[in-house]
Structure 1
């Protein structure tokens, strides 16, 4: 009974290790993804090396890199803990198998001893022939056959248990080597993180010496954003007015037998096609493709402290994505271009309508679409502007549901 319990215990451990291997794969994927993001950030910093010491955008990129580096170290630490768990489970499995092996060997030794004592064919024959009747003789014959089978089964059980034990010992040694390697990687990553924090501190110090210049830039940015926000609000209000007017005309021209095709959603009167786009857009929250082929988020949605200027908070209606020079902005969903807005000489914005949702793409040096154009998901709609003196190629994206501003990071898929 005890042996059966140990075998069941070993099977449970093997099952848990299978589940563990799946979790380990997920951890590996997450770690590899983080490492790829760090490599991409390094390539951005290398391209902007000339301005790396004093560029505000490079500070944002370094901040993001430090955040990723810290996440990577945490991922490695989690992986080490998983391996520790696996090591402990393998040790428990080895202990259980060793206990089983000892018991099976002890039983087998008794069988061999009994077989040795009764090894004579004459003794076996006498055992059968001394039966009181034919039925008892038959039973004794079957007993000897079963006894022989049992002895062979015990020998096979010893062989299989030894094989399992050897595999578990080999796996345990492998786990120990994996842990040793991960600890080394973690130590290396901590050294890199310390170096990055030093670089961050130096960059921050240099930028703080340009406080006046940064404040002037910030004031200009705030004015430009307020102007853009007002334009977006006016465009959305106009779209709502046009939709209401269209619905009113439809109602006036409606005959007793005709069906109403317009559906009201929020403040919008939507056509059947627009309603489908709107519903599909809403259903894809967290799954929408990125507006750039590659990039890293360097500006967050909402209110947050300025990374350089003390006691100053900045407000953003969207997120900023830093990417490489020459990159295109892409539509994140099917829709229709509502308007092209010119903010400055090298700063254009495109507003795309998706039913009662809107997406805004700004900081474009050129556009590839015009008002009224139908666009498809991932279609290139413009080229992102690069500020060469700052080494900055950043796309600003916003998502609106009518007049409500939404956080794009909650709507875009995880890159």
Structure 2
């Protein structure tokens, strides 16, 4: 009985250990699935669109992003394969132990059956009882025979349990080996894809280097234009704050003067930091902040917000409750919508048309306008900026 209990403890400990392995692998499996979806999105949003005119710099940036994601995918697959190796080795070791235990149990049971058969050929149970010298001895012999039969039954049941455990471990081992084969195949396929992408990457780099001065000028001009747009947005926000404070009879300040209702909205907005919905479903093609240009050393890109690539005909949606503070029309015909959330302002740039008007109360997830699709590149991108009063924030810290 003690032996059976001890075996049960070993099995429980093994299952708990296996669970901790599986948890790690499940996390890697989830990450692998997310990265595969991200690659699908990159292909769908950045590479499947028809281009009337190609820009090597933009194409290289998009390709670099895809290569980076695929490299992370390969790394995740390799980590997952290592975790599988650990599980397979552990299963093999445990299987060997189980087979040894099963063999010992079967040998012990076989010896017991032979001895029982021999004892039956020598004398029957009846003669064994009748030969007792006293009633007490006969009683003890009856109890002994019962215990002996119970022990045989217990050993038989233990063999059945152990056999099932061996079968279960065998199945588990086969499953893990099949998963590993699939992972190796997936890794090979991704390495072939990345090699193809890197060849295309080399071609684009060569094209850019051959016309470096042209591409540098285009980049610098684009940065100057973005800087002007950012300065205009900053100015509009300062003016909106000044106007709002003046209407409330508050003192001049670089910050919004808030009433009780706006303070409640502000508190709710801050409580949802990190859990706010995306302004549009898609992928981030440019992060917030100053970043070195991947092709031209010494040139930095200063991004005032997030650039999110989306499907054509996508709508920008408000990330939280608030009111429309400003609707801005740009010289190229595109529009921007500014939504105030207490003393926070979310700005949705590059809209081709707008569904709201200044002063409208807005709910979380409400459609604000259709995002512009560039007819030349075929890409649909939203520029999303977030402010606290006049200070720009990293939107990535706030959205899910």
What TM-score comes out, normalization by structure 2 length?
A: 0.89
Cα pair 2:45 2:379 within 8 Å, conserved: no
Structure 2 distance, partners of 1:229, 1:386, is 21
Cα pair 1:334 1:377 within 8 Å, conserved: yes
**How do 1:193-204 and structure 2 match up within 5 A?**
193-204=194-205
Structure 1 distance, partners of 2:338, 2:214, is 31
Distance 1:54 1:222, change over 3 A: closer
Question: Are residues 1:310 and 2:311 paired?
Answer: no
Question: Are residues 1:285 and 2:277 paired?
Answer: no
Superposition deviation, residue 353 in structure 1: 0.8
Q: Name whichever of 143-152 and 367-376 sits farther off.
A: 367-376
Cα pair 1:323 1:394 within 8 Å, conserved: yes
Question: Are residues 1:189 and 2:190 paired?
Answer: yes
Match of 1:375 in 2: 362
**How do 1:20-31 and structure 2 match up within 5 A?**
20-31=21-32
Question: Are residues 1:331 and 2:332 paired?
Answer: no
Q: Name whichever of 38-47 and 176-185 sits farther off.
A: 38-47
Match of 1:8 in 2: 9
Structure 2 distance, partners of 1:56, 1:323, is 20
Specify the SS of the correspondent of 1:390: coil
- CA shift digits 1:116-157 (9 cap, x unpaired): 221159443343334443333222211201211210121121
Superposition deviation, residue 376 in structure 1: 1.9
For the aligned residue pairs, the C-alpha RMSD in angstroms reads 2.7
Cα pair 1:10 1:93 within 8 Å, conserved: no
Distance 1:163 1:123, change over 3 A: same
Specify the SS of the correspondent of 1:270: coil
- CA shift digits 1:155-186 (9 cap, x unpaired): 12112211211221232122222212211210
Distance 1:318 1:356, change over 3 A: same
Match of 2:288 in 1: 301
Specify the SS of the correspondent of 2:311: coil
Cα pair 1:108 1:151 within 8 Å, conserved: yes
Cα pair 2:51 2:377 within 8 Å, conserved: no
Structure 2 distance, partners of 1:227, 1:199, is 34
Specify the SS of the correspondent of 1:68: helix
Question: Are residues 1:406 and 2:388 paired?
Answer: no
Aligned residue pairs, count: 398
What TM-score comes out, normalization by structure 1 length?
A: 0.86
- CA shift digits 1:27-55 (9 cap, x unpaired): 33322222122122222344335458534
Structure 1 distance, partners of 2:269, 2:209, is 42
Structure 2 distance, partners of 1:114, 1:121, is 11
Match of 1:386 in 2: 373
- CA shift digits 1:312-348 (9 cap, x unpaired): 1111111111223332222111111111223322332
Question: Are residues 1:38 and 2:25 paired?
Answer: no
Question: Runs of 5+ in structure 1 lacking a partner?
Answer: 252-265
Structure 2 distance, partners of 1:333, 1:303, is 27
Distance 1:298 1:16, change over 3 A: same
Match of 1:159 in 2: 160
Among residues 257, 265, 270, which one is paired with 1:269 in the alignment?
Answer: 257
Superposition deviation, residue 244 in structure 1: 4.5
Question: Are residues 1:358 and 2:358 paired?
Answer: no
Structure 1 distance, partners of 2:255, 2:358, is 22
Structure 2 distance, partners of 1:408, 1:39, is 24
Structure 2 distance, partners of 1:96, 1:14, is 15
- CA shift digits 1:4-63 (9 cap, x unpaired): 555433332222323434444433332222212212222234433545853433322212
Match of 1:129 in 2: 130
Structure 2 distance, partners of 1:89, 1:5, is 19
Superposition deviation, residue 248 in structure 1: 5.2
Cα pair 2:54 2:377 within 8 Å, conserved: no
Cα pair 1:10 1:97 within 8 Å, conserved: no
Specify the SS of the correspondent of 1:100: helix
Structure 1 distance, partners of 2:233, 2:111, is 90
